[in-house]
Structure 1
Amino acid sequence: MQTFDTGAVAWADRSDYWRDAISQTFIPLECAFADGDHQGRITSGVWQDLRISEIACSAQNVSRRRRGADNHPDNLILLSVVSQGTTSVAQAGQQVSLTAGEFGLYDTRQPYQLHLEGESRQHVVQIPVEHLWQRLGKTDRLLACVFGSQHPLVPYLQMLLANLMALPDSLPQQYAAMLYDQLLSLVSSIISDQYRTTRNQNGSWHGLLFQIKIMINSHLAEQSLSASTVAANFNISPRYLARLFQKEGTSFGRYLLSQRLEKSAQALRSPLNSHTQVSEIAWRNGFSDMSWFSREFRSRFGCSPTDYRQGHQLTLAE
């Protein structure tokens, strides 16, 4: 766990200290206190892909400029979950205000501005773009939006984040992976529910596709999963289902295969499965033909499943 606290430095040095702390924790940013308090504290933990920070600070303005985004192309989405105060987010022509119990997303590959009003507290999670893309598709339309307003799962999300910050630094990798997956599933469900409500109100297809992806990801082990069964579950035609995936430049079959391969790779990386046969892992993720699984896995990851597992085990041992 790493902590930065302006209370530990002289008043005259706090602005520079805080700007460096923010940039070291996240990405290169411009930051300026907006009042005379100049108070800030960041506590951060990193457990493999699970990267969470808790920030408590006085009013300030934060900006990610175009030059910074171009020179440091971090492929990260930042998830801000506000527990105190108001945080305004501006990106990609959108501007919203987040209050306690709400969260928003902003993309570090693009310029953005944050304005934290008064005393504020929030958790910020750093998420690789591809991890959200796998669950929700393209993320552009999710930027600078308000999520979680009065959603029944938000208190659980806040509790989960608080508990994650109490994890020991030595948490085994397999447990960190499980908790990270749980966090992403929870966030994705809240976002999907909000888009489903929007769809019911104005006919948007985004919420429906989110729901479909969540169902697919929950039933990857079922070898009978097909476009027809998924379409029937949502009372739509297989043709309309195909059109939904076409809007994101893919197909039902390609998406299903991609998710099954990713879950298989995740299982092969996990120490919990170090003695599980590759064929068993493939079967658990919906593959009934080992030769096809091996061929598709090699095409996706550039090596056989066995070599992939051994390579990852060697990396962990170093």
Structure 2
Amino acid sequence: MLRTIESGSRSYEELKAWGDCINRTLVNLDFFAESPEFSGSYHYMIAEDCVAARLFGTAHCTARSQRRLREVDNDFVLLIYLRTGQAMVSHRRYAGAVPEGSFIAFDSSRPHELIMRERFDHLVLRMPKARFVSLHPAISSMLDRPVSGPAAEMQAAAGILDMIVSLGGAMPSTVSTMSETVVKLLGDWLVKDGEGEVGRAVRHDLLAGRIMKCLEDNFTDPDYSPTRLAGAMGISRRYVDSIFAEMKSTFGKAMLEKRLERCHLLLSAPQFRDRSVTDIAFESGFNDLSHFSKRFRERYGISPRAVRKSAA
């Protein structure tokens, strides 16, 4: 357990000043160090909605605690490249060592802890989470696990991130484009590394996304079945069932939820009041009106006709 160095000492003041600068420009964190000889330096630049930084320092711990989450409601990603120094990380579903040369992505809306027990040199990119996850279909998997390896994509991403910091705030539009390139390169590597543990997880996540998209496109078809879905995906029916089980659901439950959501939306909208309840139910994939009414009441605690009446 790391303990804060003695208040009033030179190292304490340096840690505090270092932490205050990071809190102002990157994210609100708590800082701890057990060595009486802490030292660190911090260089950063801001371009549009991104911040790029390079951090040097000695052993310490940073934590995004529940208290910090309550202080500031942030919703962005901190992408960190460990140029030198290995780390211990606790974040979302991952807890363990992260070797030198790895990338880590922290979700600022979740608690996390990063422990450095040796000198380190880090590159950091802060980007709004919505923008981060939109840049590549595989990149959100980085929020659950660090990635490392000698792949060309990772080396290129690290090199571009280094160049971004070196620009020192010049050409903000170019820096914004370069930041997106870093994220896309990492996403490409995640897909390419299909045989590794991370790659297998990414392929699984992408397949789950494709399954949900297929459901979205076909839920109004009353005859659509898990067998047809499996055939469209090129996988077995058992694999389809296992993916829904991981999402704490089933094919039938997912289809029912989408159909009920569509019915509730149309019944609540005044512009559709000329459409009968029966027509809306059947057009949404139901083929039994009594079954629809029963499930609708179970889901929303009110009958379909009562929803229609309140929207009139």
Same fold? TM cut 0.5:
yes
Q: Give SS of 1:166's match.
A: helix
Q: Is the 8 A contact 1:198 1:207 kept in 2?
A: no
Cα distance, 1:156–1:119 mapped onto 2, change above 3 Å: same
The equivalent residue for 1:171 is: 171
Distance 1:168 1:21 in 2: 16
Say yes or no: does 1:192 pair with 2:182. no
Shift of 1:126: 0.8
Distance 1:80 1:152 in 2: 18
Shift of 1:77: 1.2
The number of residues matched between the two structures is: 216
Cα distance, 1:195–1:36 mapped onto 2, change above 3 Å: farther
The equivalent residue for 2:84 is: 84
The equivalent residue for 2:60 is: 60
Alignment of 1:128-143 (within 5 A): 128-134=128-134, 135-136=136-137, 139=140, 141-143=141-143
Over the aligned positions, Cα root-mean-square deviation in angstroms equals: 3.6
Q: Which runs of 5+ in 1 are unaligned?
A: 1-8, 213-235, 251-318
Cα distance, 1:194–1:104 mapped onto 2, change above 3 Å: farther
Distance 2:198 2:125 in 1: 27
Q: 1:106 is aligned with what amino acid? A: F
The equivalent residue for 2:222 is: none
The equivalent residue for 1:126 is: 126
Distance 1:60 1:108 in 2: 19
Say yes or no: does 1:182 pair with 2:181. yes
Percent of pairs identical after alignment?
Answer: 13
Distance 1:32 1:179 in 2: 33
Distance 2:143 2:199 in 1: 21
Shift of 1:149: 2.0
Q: Give SS of 1:179's match.
A: helix
Q: Is the 8 A contact 1:76 1:108 kept in 2?
A: yes
Which has more radius of gyration? 2
Shift of 1:155: 2.0
Q: 2:186 is aligned with what amino acid? A: V
Q: Is the 8 A contact 1:49 1:180 kept in 2?
A: no
Say yes or no: does 1:44 pair with 2:18. no
Cα distance, 1:48–1:195 mapped onto 2, change above 3 Å: farther
Shift of 1:73: 1.7
Shift of 1:39: 0.6
Shift of 1:79: 0.9
TM-score (norm 1): 0.58
Q: Which runs of 5+ in 2 are unaligned?
A: 1-8, 211-229, 248-253, 255-312
Shift of 1:74: 0.7
Q: 1:117 is aligned with what amino acid? A: R
Cα distance, 1:150–1:162 mapped onto 2, change above 3 Å: same
TM-score (norm 2): 0.59
Cα distance, 1:148–1:202 mapped onto 2, change above 3 Å: closer
Cα distance, 1:147–1:207 mapped onto 2, change above 3 Å: farther
Q: Is the 8 A contact 1:148 1:191 kept in 2?
A: no
